Amino acid sequence: MNHPTRRILTGDRPTGPLHLGHYAGTLANRLRLQESYECFFIVADLHTLTTRPGRQDVARLGENIREMVLDYLAVGIDPQRSAVFLQSAVPETYELNLIFEMLVSVPRLERVPSLKEMAQAADLEAMSFGLLGYPVLQAADILLPRATLVPVGKDNEAHVEVAREIARRFNALYGEVFPVPEVMLGEVPSLVGIDGQAKMSKSLDNAIFLADDARTVEEKVRRMYTDPRRVRADIPGTVEGNPVFAYHDAFNADRAEVDDLKERYRQGRVGDVEVKARLSRALNTFLDPIRERRADVARRPGRVEEVLQDGTKRARHEAILTMAAVRDAMGLYRLGSE
Ligand code: ATP
Ligand code: MG
């Protein structure tokens, strides 16, 4: 099959609002690349079922999906260029998922580190068949539009590796249908949470959301974890691994200010209060245009639905082409073809 040379597939699970970690890990790359790549951004609602299959969780999906598309449009994803689509509305996903399930072993999937973490975080008694298959479903997402590049955060790197192996295995067994997609990590592959303990995550209550208002940001920055040994401003502090500086590095556009703060922090010539006040200001400067665009889009009734409908149509078109090539390559028996 002919491959487009520059095509992206990536996306997020609609489990809640997007946060600064999503931005640093993958959204920034999407924005940078959407002019030079043909992009497919997936709202991965089926993937939420792997850890949250409950009736109430499913009932919340509609609202979460709409909020997430709003977040996308707010950060500047351009639906004219890029297809934003709903995973469950592309039935070929289920089809290719099943075929891919035969091309990877259980022990291989059991070695994917993030799956155990997800099972633990979700308080699951035992890993479900579906959760073990998380990276297989993701491989179907990536390979249905025959993507060549997958911009994701660090926790997803191992999943893309599974997709690469499945693509190679399929091609070796049945003939060249799929490109072997490359992974691309963000400039901050794993942004730490405001608790300084783990990666920023909506489930850990340590996130600053793209939709947070200015006062919420200030309040979260005020209780952000810093260097715990620094009980007074004149004690030299550690910059490396300090979340406050990780955020300054990632989001403060005033590099001179960041360098000056780091130097004074190391020398014990600036207090945490000032470093944090400047961080709040920088974050709010970064978030302001996102908030404005969010409000603009929210004022247009039906806009989110329209974007998803249009993007899903485009994604489905590619999925149908791919599945025809898959069936052809495999030589699956065709009923009524005699
Ligand atoms: P969360 O971890 O906040 O619950 P999630 O796991 O539901 O979010 P995913 O849909 O798994 O979100 O991730 C969406 C994308 O964002 C992935 O590419 C992931 O690697 C990236 N990402 C999520 N959190 C971070 C983070 N703290 N730093 C960098 N990238 C991140
Ligand atoms: Mg995750």
Q: Residues near 68 by Cβ (< 8 Å), separated by ≥ 6?
A: 12, 14, 17, 18, 43
Render pLDDT for 2-25 as a digit per residue (tens, 0 to 9): 666 899 999 999 999 999 999 999
Check: CB of residue 11 under 8 Å from CB of residue 45. Answer: no
**Protein residue whose Cα sits closest to atom 1 of ligand 1:** 201
The best mutation among 41, 155, 194 to test binding of ligand 1, ranked by most ligand atoms within 8 Å of the C-beta, falls on: 155
7-191+302-330, CATH topology level: Rossmann fold (3.40.50)
Q: At 124, is the pLDDT very low, low, confident or very high (cuts 50, 70, 90)?
A: confident
Fill in the DSSP letter of residue 146: T
CATH 3.30.360.10 fits 214-295, yes or no: no
Confirm or reject: Cβ of 191 under 6 Å from ligand 1: yes
Q: Over pLDDT 70: what percentage of the chain?
A: 98
What is the rounded CA–CA span in Å between residue 45 and residue 66? 11
Lowest-confidence pick of 81-95, 97-111, 231-245, 275-289? 231-245
81-86 mean pLDDT: 98
Q: What is the pLDDT of residue 203?
A: 82
Place of tokens 């209060």: 273
Number of CB atoms found within 10 A of residue 5's CB: 9
Asked if residue 131 has pLDDT above 90, the reply is yes
The best mutation among 15, 22, 152 to test binding of ligand 1, ranked by most ligand atoms within 8 Å of the C-beta, falls on: 22
Kindly give the distance from the C-alpha atom of residue 114 to the centroid of ligand 2, in angstroms, as a whole number.
8
User: Which atom of ligand 1 lies closest to the CA of 18?
Assistant: 3
Q: Residues near 294 by Cβ (< 8 Å), separated by ≥ 6?
A: 70, 71, 73, 74, 210, 211
Average pLDDT, the chain: 96
Confirm or reject: Cβ of 82 under 6 Å from ligand 1: no
Q: What is the pLDDT of residue 3?
A: 64
Residue type, 213: D
Q: What is the pLDDT of residue 39?
A: 98
Residue type, 299: R
Confirm or reject: Cβ of 71 under 6 Å from ligand 1: no
Confirm or reject: Cβ of 12 under 6 Å from ligand 1: yes
Asked if residue 1 has pLDDT above 80, the reply is no
Render pLDDT for 303-325 as a digit per residue (tens, 0 to 9): 999 999 999 999 999 999 999 99
Asked if residue 298 has pLDDT above 80, the reply is yes
Fill in the DSSP letter of residue 34: T
How many residues comprise the chain?
338
Check: CB of residue 194 under 8 Å from CB of residue 222. Answer: no
Strand intervals (E) in the chain: 7-12, 38-43, 83-86, 149-152, 182-185
State the virtual CA torsion across 102, 103, 109, 115 in degrees, nearest 10.
Answer: -80
Check: CB of residue 142 under 8 Å from CB of residue 75. Answer: no
Check: CB of residue 136 under 8 Å from CB of residue 181. Answer: no
What is the rounded CA–CA span in Å between residue 150 and residue 7? 9
Asked if residue 160 has pLDDT above 90, the reply is yes
Kindly give the distance from the C-alpha atom of residue 155 to the centroid of ligand 2, in angstroms, as a whole number.
6
Confirm or reject: Cβ of 200 under 6 Å from ligand 1: yes
Question: Which ligand is the nearest neighbour of the Cα of 68?
Answer: 1
Confirm or reject: Cβ of 199 under 6 Å from ligand 1: yes
Place of tokens 């991965």: 44
User: Which atom of ligand 1 lies closest to the CA of 15?
Assistant: 7
Q: Where are the domains of the chain?
A: 7-191+302-330, 214-295
